[in-house]
Amino acid sequence: MEITRNLAEKVETLKAMLKACTLCPRKCRVDRTAEERGFCSLGADVVVNCAIVHHGEEPPLSGRCGAGTIFFSSCNLQCIYCQNYQISHDIKGQSLDTSALADLMLSLQARGCHNVEPVTPTPQTPQIMEALLLARRRGLTIPFVYNCGGYEDPEVIKLLDGMVDIYLPDFKYGIAADGLLFSGAADYPAHAVAAIREMVSQVGDNLEMEGGVARRGVLIRHLILPGKRENSLEVLRLIKEEISAQASLSIMSQYTPIPAVARHPLLGRRITRKEYEAVVNLALDLGFENIFAQGVSAQHLSPDFEKDEPFRW
């Protein structure tokens, strides 16, 4: 009972932040409960684009039955190359109250999903966590995965202690200038280090498995960008020196140019096998042992959120 009361108090603290929003490092301080809009353009309502059984996540998350991913609208980064740009750069979706969102989580469990995984939860964390506690009271037992862009406030992450089972953060940039250029966030590396360090302190630096499926821990994702090998190398160095050399990594090759960057001098192409292997080899040289790798192909199918099923498996 005491644990439940403590978690409810944390949710109330998160909800209070909406009145002068400081949920992410941008700290817009707008009153979202009064329909003021900051960087993410969201109000106080939670906006869901779609919820699917996702078979394309890392094997410990997808397992045999799929991850229960809930795609939320908007983002606190809005990277110029985002493959989810249709929903991350716009507010597209259905407004739900926390009770309906809790029922959505339960429906994913009923469909056999191994977990519930909100994608880009950061700007809507208070509502999502309130829905999670409600879903737990209604019978949700599968792990909760916090799939975020890494641009987090560690003080907010501290409030999630006891509610999140698995953290799935991106670590996009090790070089501040790249964070500024591509996501308007020059302070990205410092916040990613501090936030992921807090995640590790809560659930450990690796993945606890049960029956081939993750139940608890942290998996750090890094998407390699074309022509930005030095950025990737700096990300790996920061993870080793500032977070943990035992961390589980997902090194991603799937970067695909979206229309907005099709003619960009760097971002207008996919990465090469040589670029990918250079980053993976450095991770191995640095002593990382738990690495999820991808193949490198000439084509990659990006999601299309105009369709009922955005992904092709």
Domains plus CATH for the chain?
Answer: 2-293 (3.20.20.70)
CA-to-CA distance for 30 and 36, rounded, in angstroms? 6
Cα–Cα distance, 134 to 288 (Å, whole number): 38
Amino acid symbol at 159: L
297 has a pLDDT exceeding 90: no
pLDDT reported for residue 299? 61
Flag whether pLDDT at 12 surpasses 80: yes
Q: What's the rounded Cα separation, in Å, for the pair 128 and 218? A: 19
Chain segment 122-153, per-residue pLDDT in tens? 999 999 999 999 999 999 999 999 999 999 99
pLDDT of residue 72: 98
Q: What is the average pLDDT across 49-72?
A: 97
pLDDT of residue 3: 65
Residue 272's pLDDT band (boundaries 50, 70, 90)?
A: very high
Per DSSP (E only), the strands in 37-184 are 46-54, 67-72, 94-96, 116-119, 145-148, 166-169
Confidence category of residue 166, pLDDT binned at 50, 70, 90: very high
Confidence of residue 295 (pLDDT cuts 50, 70, 90): confident
Task: Return the number of other C-beta atoms located less than 10 Å from residue 139's C-beta.
Answer: 9
- Rounded average pLDDT over 266-277: 96
The pLDDT of residue 1 is above 70: no
Asked whether residue 2 carries a pLDDT value surpassing 80, the answer given is no
- DSSP, collapsed to helix, strand or coil, labels residue 33 as helix
Res 121: pLDDT: 98
Q: Which helix (H) or strand (E) holds 278?
A: helix 273-285
How large is the angle between the packed helices 2-16 and 125-137, nearest 10 degrees?
Answer: 160
Question: Looking at residues 49-69, what average pLDDT do you find?
Answer: 96
Average pLDDT, the chain: 95
Please give the pLDDT value at position 32.
98
